[in-house]
């Protein structure tokens, strides 16, 4: 054990008994390089962050330039800081008309916290609805609306007044009534096992929320910024929420998230009382500069289009493999957000270990330990796609 590894185990809090434990030297594009000289192809983008590849040059340049100008100068929303204003403007240009005002956060869970509080404040209602199999983050509020009991149970009591409906069930939507402040959902469930709802589900959910006067929150923390073959996954169903939450890949590798809504709804955070939702570091100028460089890179290089094209190739190859190999139970996904379902948790763990040994990083989704997450950088080259597939095939056929 190197001294660094020993101190990692001793001084850095771990959240699983067996951390992956790669000792990182550097990262570039689709690869991580470890201190023992090995290269690892990253097919989970660490997790769902490196849409534009690791250590993207445009982002590094933007970070350096902003770091030379100023770092943190004031708590959120008081001073005019060009990186925040430029990024918020650019985001608004990329989104439907009503999603035009941005509140920056440090993470996805904080974005969801803000969205839930905003919905309660705007509607004056108390109940929240979420879906079974969802994941929305690990702070108390976000955990309260996460649809998997084993992750909620140890932390109860959580928020009162939360109900969980079955995902993708049109009948269940009747339970959304005029006591509900907000309904939160991922357009495609990530940690729930890459579950894509039927085409009618999100439009029906939108219609029911409008009828009931409940705000609809789309959590695009994982699906956003090109991952599913569109800039935002909601575009697949042409359904627009009242509040959108984003994070993960938004900062191009820097910590950044946001909840986004209309000026009319957002206004409720600045009155009765003023400062009813503030943050010190949310929208850090260096992270916003990185976020702007990342968004421009995604749009200028049509990474959503690339995700669609590479995702179709990858899914087709995995389906072909599925016909030759009993271990594969299902392949599903959109763009480069793909789930590979295997027969058992043991087989899944063994498969992921074999891939890691061969230099390919994969993992299973949080709620579904038989679904392997395949979510490489959207910049993945054809050569690296073939290399990833070669390793996957070998590990499955062993
Ligand atoms: N929402 C979704 C859909 C996520 O997948 C995640 C993280 O995996 C979160 C929220 C939480 O984001 P963060 O880890 O940035 O707090």
Instruction: Tell me the per-residue pLDDT of 268-317, one tens digit each, with 9 for 90 and over.
Output: 999 999 999 999 999 999 999 999 999 999 999 999 999 999 999 999 99
* C-alpha 37 – ligand 1 centre gap (Å): 31
Ligand 1 site residues (CB inside 6 A) read: 107-109, 112, 135-137, 186, 190-191, 219, 221-222, 247-248
> Around Cβ 214, how many Cβ atoms within 10 Å?
25
The residue whose CA has the least distance to atom 14 of ligand 1 is: 108
pLDDT higher than 90, residue 1: no
Say whether both 356 and 212 belong to one domain. no
Say whether both 137 and 237 belong to one domain. yes
Atom of ligand 1 nearest to the CA of 257: 15
* pTM, two decimal places: 0.98
Say whether both 108 and 254 belong to one domain. yes
Q: What's the Cα-to-Cα distance from 320 to each of 261, 313, 317, 325, 387, rounded to whole Å? A: 42, 11, 5, 9, 16
Q: In total, how many domains does the chain have?
A: 2
Say whether both 327 and 285 belong to one domain. no
Say whether both 117 and 229 belong to one domain. yes
The residue whose CA has the least distance to atom 5 of ligand 1 is: 222
Say whether both 205 and 317 belong to one domain. no
Say whether both 277 and 143 belong to one domain. yes
User: Helix/strand/coil (H, E, C) string of the chain?
Assistant: CCHHHHHHHHHCCCCCCCCCCCCEEEEEECEEEECCCCEEEECCHHHHCCCCCECCHHHHHHHHHHHHHCCCCCCCCCCCCHHHHHHHHHHHHHCCCCCCEEEEECCHHHHHHHHHHHHHHHHCCCEEEEECCCCCCCCHHHHHCCCCHHHHHHHCCCCCCEEEECCCCCHHHHHCCCCEEEEEECCCECCCCCECCCCCHHHHHHHHHHHHCCEEEEECCCCCCCCCCCCCHHHHCCCCCCEEEECHHHHECECCEEEEECHHHHHHHCCCCCCCCCCCCCCCHHHHHHHHHHHHHHHHCCHHHHHHHHHHHHHHHHHHHHHHCCCEEEEEEECCEEEEEECCHHHHHHHHHHHHHCCEECEECCCCCCEEEECCCCCCCHHHHHHHHHHHHHHHHC
Using 50, 70 and 90 to split pLDDT, how confident is the model at 190? Answer: very high
Say whether both 331 and 249 belong to one domain. no
Q: What is the mean pLDDT of residues 210-223?
A: 98
pLDDT digits (tens, 9 = 90+) for 116-167: 999 999 999 999 999 999 999 999 999 999 999 999 999 999 999 999 999 9
Range of the domain at 224: 57-300
Atom of ligand 1 nearest to the CA of 142: 10
Say whether both 97 and 180 belong to one domain. yes
Residue to mutate (ligand 1; options 116, 137, 220; most atoms within 8 A of CB): 137
Please tell me the predicted confidence (pLDDT) of residue 2: 74
Say whether both 226 and 265 belong to one domain. yes
Atom of ligand 1 nearest to the CA of 189: 3
Distance in Å from the first CA to the final CA of the chain: 30
* C-alpha 242 – ligand 1 centre gap (Å): 19
276, 300, 324 - which closes a domain: 300
């Amino acid at each position: 054990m190197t001294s660094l590894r020993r101190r990692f185990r001793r001084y850095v809090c771990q959240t699983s008994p067996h951390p992956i434990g790669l000792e990182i030297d550097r990262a570039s594009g689709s690869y991580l390089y470890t201190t023992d000289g090995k290269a690892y192809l990253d097919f989970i983008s660490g997790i769902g962050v490196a849409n534009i590849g690791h250590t993207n040059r445009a982002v590094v340049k933007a970070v350096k330039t902003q770091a030379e100008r100023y770092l943190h100068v004031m708590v959120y929303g008081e001073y005019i800081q060009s990186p925040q204003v430029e990024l918020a403007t650019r985001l608004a240009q990329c989104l439907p008309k009503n999603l035009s005002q941005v509140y920056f956060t440090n993470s996805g869970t904080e974005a969801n916290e803000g969205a839930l509080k905003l919905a309660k404040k705007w509607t004056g209602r108390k109940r929240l609805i979420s879906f079974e199999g969802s994941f929305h983050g690990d702070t108390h509020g976000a955990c309260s609306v996460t649809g998997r009991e084993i992750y909620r149970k140890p932390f109860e009591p959580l928020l009162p007044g939360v109900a969980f409906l079955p995902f993708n069930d049109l009948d269940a939507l009747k339970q959304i009534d005029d006591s509900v402040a907000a309904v939160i959902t991922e357009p495609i469930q990530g940690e729930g096992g890459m579950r894509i709802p039927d085409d009618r589900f999100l439009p029906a959910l939108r219609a029911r929320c409008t009828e009931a006067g409940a705000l609809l929150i789309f959590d695009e923390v994982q699906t956003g910024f090109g991952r599913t073959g569109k800039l935002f996954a909601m575009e697949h169903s042409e359904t627009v929420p009242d509040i959108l939450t984003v994070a993960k890949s938004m900062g191009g590798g820097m910590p950044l998230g946001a909840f986004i809504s209309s000026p009319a709804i957002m206004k409720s955070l600045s009155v009765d009382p003023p400062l009813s939702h503030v943050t010190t570091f949310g929208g850090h100028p260096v992270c916003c500069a990185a976020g702007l460089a990342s968004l421009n890179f995604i749009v200028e290089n049509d990474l959503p289009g690339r995700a669609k094209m590479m995702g179709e190739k990858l899914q087709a190859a995995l389906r072909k493999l599925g016909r030759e190999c009993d271990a594969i139970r299902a392949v599903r996904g959109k763009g480069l957000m793909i789930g590979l379902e295997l027969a058992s948790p043991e087989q899944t763990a063994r498969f992921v270990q074999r891939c890691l040994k061969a230099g390919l990083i994969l993992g299973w989704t949080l709620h579904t330990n038989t679904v392997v997450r395949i979510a490489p950088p959207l910049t993945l080259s054809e050569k690296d796609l073939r290399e990833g597939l070669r390793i996957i095939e070998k590990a499955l056929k062993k």
